[in-house]
Structure 1
């Protein structure tokens, strides 16, 4: 089998798996269904991917690669954008990616959770994941996304578009965690009880305002209110 034919088979399997995982979820999808959707034999699926977990790691790797490409495009041509403009595009692109490529975003977040266990006690990880070549590649390259974000913030600090008192590394990880949290709970905001004064639009506007106040600083200095009375 030639290289091109092999690549086409792998592509068909991935496309089928992405469709089914999006529709039914990872756990409810069977390899038999992936094979049927791809119109190939189950044995051939296992020829290219050692397990369903290996296939999911391949999808995760594809998602990370797509998001990395999106981050790289946000930079544009050298010296074309300020660091703040790059961060604006990164944030907008990330939120769009999380909405439009949900199966990839969910896979990436699942992988980040696996990394926690990998560092604490990797022997407790599912061996089908540990033995996946795609998991190994992800462990080796997962910092690439953060490096691009850190680069954008560092550029902004140097060109003056981002406040100079920030630490680029901790700031990016803080903002990234904010974006992940926003994506996770934004769907529940519209379901909050009436006494909670929030809706999807006000939550989005408030999130964006706070996001950029972290980078630029607030034009209105905050004043701490005096504490009245005793705590106990």
Structure 2
């Protein structure tokens, strides 16, 4: 096994464990030893690869952001209808975000040393929202979606469904449902919107 492979394995293990611990305890309550002890390693690799707890949290956030942006890009590059793309996006977003749990971002807005993460988080959310807004506008101009609803209302509806499904997963209401059943819940939520904006 090469040194580079070992490095990548160590880095991935540390980030995986950091996500698990941060998602349970939150950033402020997590100590480096919570992460290293659970992996039965010293703090040396954290200092070497990430410098400190903040660096490890930043690496975990990088994985969070990269995952969402990749999902967004891949889903909206398919040839499915807009609503079907949105349904896929919500399902995949929820699966990705649920790994990070409720507490990963707990108090992130109030912790001064996480200011850069806070800014990146809100910038990313705004950019993803704006992307969907532009997609709706473009689809309406091209006659692919009806103009009976303003783009903002359509995108806001998408986010309402997204947050409802995410809360259902995080609160464990949907924990007994299979992936296919959760996808059905998402489809049901979009039936009304689809009927209003679909071009027959």
For Structure 1 versus Structure 2, the TM-score category normalised by the shorter chain is 0.5 to 0.7
Query: 1:31 offset after TM fit, Å?
Result: 0.9
The reply to whether residue 144 of structure 1 matches residue 127 of structure 2 is yes
Partner of 2:59: 58
1:190-210 deviations in Å (ceiling 9; x for gaps): 8xxxxxxxx979998666334
Larger Rg over CA atoms = 1
The reply to whether residue 26 of structure 1 matches residue 26 of structure 2 is yes
In structure 1, C-alpha distance between the alignment counterparts of 2:5 and 2:120, rounded to whole Å: 23
The reply to whether residue 16 of structure 1 matches residue 12 of structure 2 is no
Partner of 1:67: 68
The reply to whether residue 216 of structure 1 matches residue 195 of structure 2 is yes
In structure 2, C-alpha distance between the alignment counterparts of 1:41 and 1:185, rounded to whole Å: 38
The reply to whether residue 128 of structure 1 matches residue 142 of structure 2 is no
Partner of 2:88: 89
Partner of 1:223: none
In structure 1, C-alpha distance between the alignment counterparts of 2:86 and 2:52, rounded to whole Å: 38
Size of the aligned set, in residue pairs, is 189
TM-score, normalising length: structure 1: 0.59
Whether contact under 8 Å (2:91, 2:183) holds in the other structure is: no
In structure 2, C-alpha distance between the alignment counterparts of 1:185 and 1:5, rounded to whole Å: 38
In structure 2, C-alpha distance between the alignment counterparts of 1:189 and 1:85, rounded to whole Å: 24
Whether contact under 8 Å (1:20, 1:34) holds in the other structure is: yes
Query: 1:72 offset after TM fit, Å?
Result: 0.9
Name stretches of at least 5 consecutive residues in structure 1 with no aligned partner.
Answer: 118-124, 191-198, 220-232
Partner of 1:230: none
Whether contact under 8 Å (2:136, 2:151) holds in the other structure is: yes
Whether contact under 8 Å (1:162, 1:216) holds in the other structure is: no
Whether contact under 8 Å (1:83, 1:159) holds in the other structure is: no
In structure 2, C-alpha distance between the alignment counterparts of 1:105 and 1:148, rounded to whole Å: 25
In structure 1, C-alpha distance between the alignment counterparts of 2:161 and 2:149, rounded to whole Å: 16
Aligned-pair Cα RMSD in Å: 4.1
In structure 2, C-alpha distance between the alignment counterparts of 1:216 and 1:161, rounded to whole Å: 13
TM-score, normalising length: structure 2: 0.66
